[in-house]
Amino acid sequence: MTVPTLLTKGIPSHTAIAVGPRSRIVLTIVSIIGLVAFCWPLLITPTAGVDHSADAPWVFALIIPFLIALIAAEISDGGLDAKAIAMLGVLAAVGTALRPLGGGITGFQPLFVVLVLGGYAFGAGFGFVLGAVTMLTSAFLTGGAGPWLPFQMFAAAWVGMGAGLIPHVAIKGRLWLLAAYGFIASLLFGLIMNLSFWPWTFGVTATANNSLAYIPGASTLENLQHFAIFHLTTSLGWDLTRGIGTAVLVLVAGKPILAALDRAGRRAHFPSAKN
């Protein structure tokens, strides 16, 4: 099958950068650390005065070395070379430039299109690093660095990684698949970011009468029910705007962007990781 035929059917003619064995180990470890960072308040009773302004530096101190370790593992496995790192830098710069165009009162964030399409084009490991790096650099550009930043880095990294896990199958509706993923991933990004600060929104002395609050000492199920009500009543509209905006941008701009990424991948001859 020729390259033009592949492109008309919507399949990238280059192979996404595979995730090698070392990279899988690092991705698994750093994702577990991220899940613990988000979910630990549901498993223990935080004491008064504890919030993410206290633990965020530790999370940040953990994620940066693991990002470096992931890049080193990808290079060691043969999945990243100088050309792939250059592409990572270009896409991160584009995402950083797009971030100031989003946010505000709508919740729409165009940088998610870069994470979805970049992660899909070049693989899960590439997408993970792309999400984390883009969120880090764009935070400094927009003045958005704070206790929430390491959690945004994790959440954005998972968006890029998830896109990279979507198989490159022979379907004409590839853009619709990516748009659906972008919509769902945008909703999940808002959900997990809410979880990162919700336990301290009403203070750790909140009573069970507050159906929106985290209740120290309550069961995990009860607190999850409170969190669901909190998310639905405070943030769902914002997240829907982000999800719809991402899906629409993927449908509108996805074809030329993926074609450009495909051409770059073929010309660069990105290596596949050694398994």
pLDDT tens digits for range 125-173: 889 989 989 998 988 887 666 777 888 888 999 999 999 998 876 667 7
H-assigned helices in 99-214: 111-122, 124-142, 149-164, 174-197
Taking the C-alpha atoms of residue 128 and residue 70, their distance in angstroms, rounded to an integer, is: 9
pLDDT of residue 10: 43
- What does the mean pLDDT of the chain come to? 78
Q: Report the amino acid identity of residue 96.
A: T
Q: How big is the CA angle at 93 (ends 119 and 136), to the nearest 5 degrees?
A: 80
Q: How big is the CA angle at 266 (ends 260 and 272), to the nearest 5 degrees?
A: 120
Q: What percent of the chain shows pLDDT beyond 90? A: 23
CA distances from 255 to 10, 11, 48, 120, 207 (A): 8, 11, 51, 13, 51
Higher pLDDT, 197 or 274: 197
Is residue 177 pLDDT above 80, yes or no?
yes
Whether the CB-CB separation of 206 and 259 falls below 8 Å is answered with no
Q: What percent of the chain shows pLDDT beyond 70? A: 73
Asked whether the whole model's pTM tops 0.75, one would answer yes
Q: 269 by DSSP, 3-state: which?
A: coil
Q: How big is the CA angle at 186 (ends 183 and 191), to the nearest 5 degrees?
A: 125
> Structural domains in the chain?
9-268 (1.10.1760.20)
Q: How big is the CA angle at 52 (ends 49 and 53), to the nearest 5 degrees?
A: 80
Q: How big is the CA angle at 37 (ends 120 and 31), to the nearest 5 degrees?
A: 35
Higher pLDDT, 82 or 17: 82
Q: Report the amino acid identity of residue 271.
A: P
Top mean pLDDT of 113-117, 123-127, 215-219 is at 113-117
